């Protein structure tokens, strides 16, 4: 059971309120940085070792999950990945709070999923002050290269996020969404069953 001061900080974090590095320092034991380093330096032929490391790093890992190294995470332990996940190289999880990824999700190279932001006024950024809100990526989502998903975003079932997009608000299910800021371009329809491009 957390100390009452720690519980108060956890409550603020859960509410999306500002907290500092010093206040959250009690969470340091949940960081898996050494294991992430080891994973990123494990030879490709050592598939079983990589699998064991990934289970030790992440909050949970589904069946047939693939995460190509290198990847980066602030904690690792706050990332939950479903079945048939594919994460390409240079995936970054800023997982101060939960990042929950469903089944059949594909993420292209150099994508950032960040649950954390900082106050705009510099006086409020002392001691790395920040706020954190969870990210949810539903089943069958595809996120294109160099996309950034910001705190508190939910991406709906089956949607496609275009390369280079900055996703700052929720994306509904079964749409193609692109741009900075990311906006819905069009629905995904049965016509897409025979088309190659978006």
pLDDT, mean of residues 129-156? 98
Q: What is the pTM assigned to this prediction?
A: 0.94
Average pLDDT of the chain to the nearest whole number = 95
Handedness of CA 121, 127, 133, 136 (dihedral sign): positive
121 — pLDDT class (breaks 50, 70, 90): very high
- Selecting among 3, 41, 72, 118, the annotated active-site residue is 118
Model confidence at 1, pLDDT cuts 50, 70, 90, reads: very low
Topology of domain 4-189, per CATH? UDP N-Acetylglucosamine Acyltransferase; domain 1 (2.160.10)
Q: What is the mean pLDDT of residues 141-155?
A: 98
| 41: annotated active-site residue | no
In angstroms, the CA 28 to CA 76 distance is: 12
């Amino acid at each position: 059971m957390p100390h009452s001061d720690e519980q108060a900080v956890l409550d603020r974090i859960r509410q999306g309120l500002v907290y500092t590095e010093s206040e959250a320092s009690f969470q340091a034991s949940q960081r898996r940085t050494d294991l992430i380093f080891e994973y990123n330096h494990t030879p490709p032929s050592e598939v079983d070792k990589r699998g064991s490391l990934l289970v030790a790093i992440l909050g949970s890992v589904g069946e047939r999950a693939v995460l190509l190294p290198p990847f980066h995470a602030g904690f690792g332990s706050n990332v939950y990945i479903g079945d048939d996940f594919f994460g390409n190289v240079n995936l970054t999880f800023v997982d101060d709070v939960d990042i929950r990824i469903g089944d059949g999700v594909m993420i292209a190279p150099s994508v950032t999923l960040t649950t954390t932001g900082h106050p705009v006024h510099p006086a409020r950024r002392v001691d790395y002050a920040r706020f954190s809100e969870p990210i949810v990526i539903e089943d069958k989502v595809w996120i294109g290269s160099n996309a950034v998903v910001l705190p508190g975003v939910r991406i709906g079932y089956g949607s496609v996020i275009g390369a280079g997009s900055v996703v700052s608000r929720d994306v509904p299910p079964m749409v193609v969404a692109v741009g900075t800021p990311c906006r819905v371009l069009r629905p995904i329809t049965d016509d897409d069953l025979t088309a190659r491009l978006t």
